[in-house]
Chains A and B, each alone.
Chain A
Amino acid sequence: MSSSSAGAAAAGKPPGGGHGGHGDSDERHSHNPHLAHHFDDIETQNHASRLGMWLFLGTEVLLFAGLFLGYSVYRHLYHETFRFASHTLNLTLGTINTVVLISSSLTVALAHHAVTKGKNRLALGLLGFTILCALAFLVIKGFEYNHKFEEGALPGKWFHFEEMAGMPGANMFFTVYFLATGLHAFHVIVGMAILIWVAKRLARGDFSTDYNLPVELGGLYWHLVDLVWIFLFPLLYLI
C-alpha cells in the first residue's frame, strides 16, 4: 500500500532537517533525504509543514488581538485624548518604518522566489537586505522610544508627559503604545533571528529548487510581523 518502509535517512525529522546537499528529483520520493520516515511523500510533508506554520501564525494573530482589544476599548473611552496623543508621535519616523517593513516583505518574498528559480546568490542578497531592514526598524524604534523617555510619555506610573497632563486617560495611550510596539518589536527580533538562521543555511547550500521550504516558512513569519504593523501604524500614529 504505502511506502511505509521508506529507507529515508532522515528518520523522525520534520522537514527542515536536511543535511546539506540537494534533494533528489521528485520521482524518487523514497530516497528524498528530506522525507521523514512517518510521511509517505514529500508533498504531504510540505503541506503538513505549511499547515503547521499557518496554525502558528493564527496563534500570533490571536496573541496580538488582545492588545488591539485594549487599544480599541481605551480609544473608545478616551477618544479625544487618544487622538491628541497619536499626533504627538513622530509621523516621519513611523512612516519610514512602515515603508521599511513593507519593503522588507517584498525582499523576503523575492528571496524565496529566487531560490525556487535556483538563483541562490541573489536570494542570499535579498535575505540580507531583509535582515538589514529589520535592524533599521529596530534602530528607528529605538530613537522613538528614547524620545518618549525624554518627554515622559511613558506607561502607567512612569507617565509625566507635561504636554498631556490633565487629559483623561493620557497615560493609557502610552501604556498601550509601549505594550503593542514592544511586543511587535520582540517579534521583529525573533523574525530577524529566524531569517538569519535561514540565510546561514542558504549560504551553506542547504536549499535548492527542489527543497526550499524553510525559506518560504521563514518568510511567512516575517510577513506576519509586517501585517501586525500595517494595523498598528494607523491606529497609533495617524488617527
Chain B
Amino acid sequence: MSQSASSALAEVPYRAPVYQEINYLNADSGVMSWLKTLDHKRIGIMYLGSVLVAFLLGGIFAMIVRFELSTPEPTFIGANAYNRMFTLHGMVMIFLFMIPAIPGVFGNFVLPLMLGAKDVAFPRLNLLSLYVYWTGAAIVLFGVITGGADSGWTFYAPYSTTTPMTLFPVLLGVFILGFSSILTGLNFIVTIHTLRAPGITWMKMPLFVWALYATSIIQVLATPVIGLTTLLVGIEKVAGFGLFDPGRGGDPVLMQHMFWFYSHPAVYIMVLPAMGVISEAIATFARKNLFGYKMIAYSSLGIAFVGFFAWGHHMFVSGQSAFDGGAFAVVSMLVGVFTAIKVFNWVGTLYRGSIQVTTPFVYVCGFLFFVVFGGMTGIAVATVSLDVHWHDTYFVVAHFHFIMVGAVIMAFLAALHYWFPKMFGKTYHEGWGMVAASFIVLGFNATFIPQFLLGNAGMPRRYYMYPERFTALNVASTAGSTLLAFGFIIILIYLVYALVNGDVAGDNPWDSKGYEWMTSSPPIKENFEEIPNYEQEPHTYREPGEEVEHVVI
C-alpha cells in the first residue's frame, strides 16, 4: 500500500511509522476546548467539518436540479421550487463551500507549518472568522428554510428587489460570510509577512503559500464590494430605495458591475488555492523539483491582479457598451496566459519524474485535464461574438463547472487525501481511493460534457422545461451526476473509516520534501518541538544535474 510504496522510494532505511501519541487532537479535551481553541489546526478541522456539511447540502440541491431536468416536462417539483433549487445550489456551493474551503481548511492547517510558525498572526481573529462563517451560514440556511431565494445566485436587480421570495436573509447571510473571508485573508497576509521562520525567504516559500498569499489579496480587496452590493440590494428590497430601479432613473447594469467586480475575482479565490495544492502534490508525486518555481509564484500574483480587470465578460449582453465589452474581453484572455504558464510548468515537472500513482495524484491528473478544457472554453466565452450565442446557455454552465468542480474540487480532494495523514496521522485505503476517484472523474465527464453540447445547441440555463430534442443529453448529464454523487459517498465512507480504524501513517508517508512534513503527523499542539532547519528549497528532490532514478514499484 502507500506505506511500502513510499518506503521503497525513500532514501532512508525503512522504519515502522510512528503515531504521534500526544498531538493537537487530544492535547485538550472537551467540546469547549475545541470551541474556544486558538489552535489553527483545530480551526482547520472545524472548517473541514463545516464545509463538508455545506458541500453535502449544495450537492443535494444539485441532484434535485438534475433529477428535475431528466425529463423535458415538469418531473417532480414545481417551477418556483426549481428556481429556488438552482439558486440555492449556487449560493451554498459558492459562498459556503468554494470560497472558504481550501483556504479555511488546508490554509489554516498547513500555512503555519509551512512557514515554521507556531500559529497564524491573529489566532483570535482566526477563531472569529470561523464563528462568523457559522453565523453567516446559519442565516443563509434560515433564509433557505423560510422560502429561499429564486433569483439565481447572482441576484440581479430588479428581479431580486421585486421578487416575493424572502431574499433578505440569504443576502444578509452572504454579507456576513464575506467578513469571514476578509478575516481569513487578512490573517494569512500578515502571517506570511511576519511569521516566516529564519531561512524561509520569499523565494523559498512553498508554492501553496504563494497561492494563499495571492488569494488573500483578492479576498481583502474584492469582498467588501460584494458586501456593499448585498447591502444595497437588500436595502432596496426591504426599503424601496430604488438605486438600481429603472423606474426611478436607476441603472440595473450598475448593480451587475458592482456584483461582478467581486464575483469574477472570487473565482480566482476559488482556483488559486487549488492551483497551490496541485503545485505541492505534483512535486511530491513526481518526486521532482517543481519546474519553474518563480514563474508559478509570479503567475499566482498575476492572476490575482489581472483577474480584477476582467469582470465585464459576464455582462457582454447586459446592455454594457460594446467598447467596454471588448476591453474586458481582451483582458480576460490575458488571465489565461498565467494559467497556461502554470500548466506548462506542472507538466514540465511531471516530465522525467519518478511518478507515484496514488489517489491524490489521480486527482492532480484530473485537475490538469479539466483545467485545460475549462480554461480553453473560458477563453472561448471571453470572445464577445461567441458569447452572444453562448451566454446564459449550458455552455457557460459547463465551462464554469469544469473549473469549479473539475479543477477546484479535484484539487480539494487531492488536498484532502494528500494531507489526510498529516492531519490525522492515519492512512486511508488506497484501493478505495482509486475506486472513488474513478467514479468521480468518469461521473464528472458524463455530467458536464453533455452540457457543452446542450449549450451550444441552444439550451438556456436556469430553465425549468426544455424542448424534447434536448432530452437525451440531459438524461446523460443526470446519469453522470449520479455517478459523481456515488463517488463522493464512497470517499466519505472510507475516510471516516480511516479516521477510526486507519493504519498509522507516520510522519511523512509520501516522503515529501514539503516543509509541513518536517513535523509529526498529527502535529503536536505547538507545531514543532524545535523549529526545523530550512536550508533546502521547498519541493527539492534532486540537485541540479543529478541522475534520475526510476524506481519500479
User: How far does the alpha carbon of A66 sit from the alpha carbon of B528 in the complex, in Å?
Assistant: 44
For B118, list chain A residues within 8 Å (CB): 4, 37-38
Partner of A4, one of B248, B258, B531: B531
B198 in contact with A1 (CB, 8 Å) = yes
Q: Does B194 contact A (CB under 8 A)?
A: yes
User: How far does the alpha carbon of A158 sit from the alpha carbon of B242 in the complex, in Å?
Assistant: 10
Q: Does B317 contact A (CB under 8 A)?
A: no
Given contacts A12-B38, A158-B240, contact A66 B229 (CB under 8 A): yes
Given contacts A66-B232, A157-B240, A179-B232, contact A52 B190 (CB under 8 A): yes
Q: Which of A51, A52, A169, A178 has the most CB of B within 10 A?
A: A52
A59 in contact with B243 (CB, 8 Å) = no
B194 in contact with A44 (CB, 8 Å) = yes
Given contacts A168-B249, A171-B248, contact A55 B224 (CB under 8 A): no
Q: List 6 A-B contacts (CB under 8 A).
A: A2-B197, A14-B125, A48-B194, A51-B190, A65-B224, A73-B251
User: How far does the alpha carbon of A44 sit from the alpha carbon of B121 in the complex, in Å?
Assistant: 10
- B111 → chain A, closest Cβ, in Å? 12
For B235, list chain A residues within 8 Å (CB): 179
Per-residue interface assignment for chain A, residues 157 to 195, with 1 indicating a CB less than 8 Å from any chain B CB and 0 otherwise = 110000000001101100110110000000000000000
User: How far does the alpha carbon of A14 sit from the alpha carbon of B258 in the complex, in Å?
Assistant: 34
Q: Does B227 contact A (CB under 8 A)?
A: yes
Partner of B242, one of A17, A63, A168, A175: A175
A48 in contact with B241 (CB, 8 Å) = no
For B38, list chain A residues within 8 Å (CB): 12
A66 in contact with B258 (CB, 8 Å) = yes
A58 in contact with B220 (CB, 8 Å) = yes
Q: Does B225 contact A (CB under 8 A)?
A: yes
Which residues of chain B (109-131) have a CB below 8 Å from chain A?
112, 117-119, 121-125
Q: Does B250 contact A (CB under 8 A)?
A: yes
Q: Does B195 contact A (CB under 8 A)?
A: yes
User: How far does the alpha carbon of A14 sit from the alpha carbon of B183 in the complex, in Å?
Assistant: 14
User: How far does the alpha carbon of A62 sit from the alpha carbon of B182 in the complex, in Å?
Assistant: 12
User: How far does the alpha carbon of A120 sit from the alpha carbon of B189 in the complex, in Å?
Assistant: 33
Partner of A67, one of B112, B223, B228: B228
For A74, list chain B residues within 8 Å (CB): 249-251
Q: Does A56 contact B (CB under 8 A)?
A: yes
B123's nearest neighbour on chain A, judged by CB, is A12
For A233, list chain B residues within 8 Å (CB): none
Given contacts A66-B232, A156-B241, contact A60 B194 (CB under 8 A): no
User: How far does the alpha carbon of A52 sit from the alpha carbon of B223 in the complex, in Å?
Assistant: 16
Q: How many residues of B contact A (CB 8 A)?
A: 48
A156 in contact with B248 (CB, 8 Å) = yes
Q: Does A128 contact B (CB under 8 A)?
A: no
Q: Which residues of A contact B (CB under 8 A)?
A: 1-2, 4, 12-14, 17, 36-39, 44-45, 47-48, 51-52, 55-56, 58-60, 62-63, 65-67, 69-70, 73-74, 77-78, 155-158, 168-169, 171-172, 175-176, 178-179
For A37, list chain B residues within 8 Å (CB): 118-119
A63 in contact with B225 (CB, 8 Å) = yes
User: How far does the alpha carbon of A171 sit from the alpha carbon of B124 in the complex, in Å?
Assistant: 44
B240 in contact with A55 (CB, 8 Å) = no
B197 in contact with A156 (CB, 8 Å) = no
For B240, list chain A residues within 8 Å (CB): 156-158
Partner of B190, one of A2, A55, A73, A155: A55
Q: Does B150 contact A (CB under 8 A)?
A: no
A14 in contact with B194 (CB, 8 Å) = no
B248 in contact with A172 (CB, 8 Å) = yes
19 further A-B contacts with Cβ under 8 Å, apart from A14-B121, A17-B124, are A2-B197, A14-B122, A38-B118, A38-B123, A39-B195, A48-B190, A51-B189, A51-B193, A51-B194, A52-B125, A62-B222, A65-B225, A66-B228, A70-B254, A74-B249, A156-B242, A171-B248, A172-B248, A172-B250
For B193, list chain A residues within 8 Å (CB): 48, 51
